[in-house]
Amino acid sequence: MNYYQDITLLPDAEITLGFIWQKVYQQVHIALADNKIAENQSAIAVAFPEYGSKGFPLGRKLRLLAETQEQLEQLDIKKWLE
């Protein structure tokens, strides 16, 4: 994978990191399903660069990876997270 886009989750006193992860991952899942390239296949991969760090097990970052910049642009994750 040559291109990536990071999403950083920013919890506060009223909204926990776990709650934000639930909402973000739900929308990412829908976006990936809507943009699949074949049955059970996606051009986009997900990674958790802070996995296992202190605090929340998944960390605060979700990374979307793609072979081309166009694939990330086509996904348009910002639209799904608004």
Q: 56 phi and psi, to 5 degrees? A: -70, 135
Instruction: Enumerate the domain spans of the chain.
Output: 1-11+45-82
Question: Tens digits of per-residue pLDDT, 13-66?
Answer: 899 999 999 999 999 999 999 998 888 889 999 999 999 877 778 889 999 999
Q: What is the C-alpha end-to-end distance of the chain, expressed in Å?
A: 26
Strands 45-47, 61-66: pairing kind: antiparallel
Which pLDDT value is given to residue 63?
97
Which pLDDT value is given to residue 46?
96
Comparing CA positions, the residue from 45, 74, 56, 66 lying closest to residue 8 is 56
8-state DSSP, 42: -
Neighbours of 37 (CB within 10 A): 9
pTM above 0.85, yes or no: yes
Which pLDDT value is given to residue 40?
84
Which pLDDT value is given to residue 62?
96
Q: Find the mean pLDDT for residues 66-74.
A: 95
